[in-house]
Amino acid sequence: MLTLCIVLAILLGAIAVWSWHRERQWQQRHADLSRALGQTVSPDQTPRLVEKLIIDLNDLGRETYLRRLFESLLSEIRQGVLIVDRDLKIRFANRNIAQLFQRPTIQRNHPLLDEIHDHQVVETVKMALTEGRRNVRQIRFVSGNNTNRSGARHYLIEAAPLPAEAERGAWLMVHDITEQILTEQIRKDFVANASHELRTPLTLIQGYIETLRDGLIDDPATARHCLAVMEKHGQRLIRIIEDMLTISRLESVGSTLNFEPFNVRGCIQDAIDHLAPMLESRQVHFDFDFPPSGGTLHGDRFYWDQIFTNLLENAIKENPGRALTIRLSGRWSGDQCTLTLSDDGVGIPSHDIPFVFKRFFRGHKHHGQTIKGTGLGLSIVRRAIEAHSGTIDLRSTPGIETIFTIEVPSALPLTPIEPPAQNELLPLTETVA
């Protein structure tokens, strides 16, 4: 019995020591917590304080999540977005604004001018902060590494102060409007060019009509000459209108092609015959490299007439007063056809190549002359080839060679066909003057 009492006493003593040690630990942690919070907290206030801390941490986590979500969304939009404080130091910048101003990255907490080297942007933000209202400006930006004027970009920038409940600062949004500016300029040029192209033949036709109507020409030969000139310029008007209608049909929604097999070599010859009046008094030679049969494609013959006519006319028109050799070839491999048209003329400047297939674009020769026409020919070529599920590529070395390469399926869409047996033969090369 005595032994049991001793054991119980020892056990109770151990429990008391352990309880005292835990109490000291709890008091020490409470003191550490009070020091961390910078204030004295009584033990009975601790549960309430802990509960408040948990709520604050949850709110902080929610704010952090919302901020990251907000930044992620801003980084996905096409516009450049930037937020600065009252000292014009960057607090936030999305990915696109670095790309727009051709910077690898935009550093936060750096001065705005140090990261975006454009005083127009800085002045716009300053005015928004000073005047306390939204400010909009259109600027032309040229990178310091880009000396080519064609590499300039056009931006619409708008800045406004942050809401009153936020930290004093401003937001900036940058829209890239380069394509809109170029399109608008091209449209203006087209109106001017088309007006000139239409007015010139109409004026000549109207003049001859008035002359004939007034009976001022008695000589039959002169009258026939007048009629011939009127017919020539009437055909010119028809060609301009046909080009406009063709590009409109190609770009209209739901337009369909009339697929049928046709002979490629024969189609090119028809285009050459159509351009016969232009070839008069010019030294133009055509070299053909096609299979003996001329090669077969499945497509809309009307549009392929347009393709070859425009490509040939473009080469002839750009090289007046000089001997010119135009080489045309066709290769068939399985259900794929590769057509090549090249010439040894003046060529196309490298800065014009990205734009030659755009509507209404008219190129400039290396000596500064502007090519006449509405600028729809090569646009029709590209649209028609794309409508046949094909591609066209252009390479040019001015003064040496210009090459258009067309790759297009030779069979009906989704319909495999056997390649013609004559493709296995060596291609026949002929020269036609």
Q: Give the pLDDT confidence of 112-160 residue by residue, as tens digits.
A: 888 888 888 888 888 988 888 888 888 888 876 554 445 688 999 899 8
Q: 294 and 221: one domain?
A: no
Query: Which residues, other chains included, contact 282 with Cβ-Cβ below 8 Å and sequence gap of 6+?
Result: 316, 320, 324
CA-nearest of 93, 110, 97 to 174 is: 97
Strands 260-263 and 284-290: unpaired
pLDDT digits (tens, 9 = 90+) for 359-417: 767 665 444 455 556 677 888 899 899 888 899 999 998 888 899 999 999 776 543 33
Neighbouring residues of 300: CB distance < 8 A, sequence distance ≥ 6: 257, 258, 259, 260, 384, 387, 388
Query: Is residue 422 exposed (0-12), middle (13-18) or buried (19+ Cβ within 10 Å)?
Result: middle
| CA atoms within a 13 Å half-sphere pointing along the CA-CB vector of 5 | 2
The pLDDT tens digits for 263-285 are 999 999 999 998 888 888 788 89
d(CA 22, CA 124): 64
The arrangement of strands across the sheet holding 428-432 comes to: 391-397, 401-409, 336-343, 324-333, 284-290, 428-432
CATH number of the domain where residue 341 is located: 3.30.565.10
- Considering the domain architecture, whether residues 207 and 308 belong to the same structural domain is answered as no
How many residues belong to the chain? Answer: 433
Structural domain count of the chain: 3
Indicate the pTM of the whole model.
0.54
> Does residue 162 sit in the same domain as residue 228?
no
Same domain, 244 and 294: no
404 and 330 housed in the same domain: yes
Angle between helices 301-317 and 220-251 (to 10 degrees): 120
**Residue 65, domain member (yes or no):** no
Residue 13 lies in a domain: no
φ/ψ of residue 335, rounded to 5: -105, 20
Do 296 and 382 lie in one domain? The reply is: yes
Last residue of a domain, one of 193, 218, 251: 251
Sheet of 169-176: strand order equals 90-93, 80-85, 169-176, 153-161, 135-141
Domain range holding 121? 77-143+150-176
Shared domain check, 279 and 233: no
Asked if residue 58 is part of any domain, the answer here is: no
Residue 418: what pLDDT? 35
pLDDT of 430 higher than 80? no
Nearest to 88 by CA among 124, 131, 52, 134: 124
Q: Mean pLDDT throughout 39-47?
A: 53
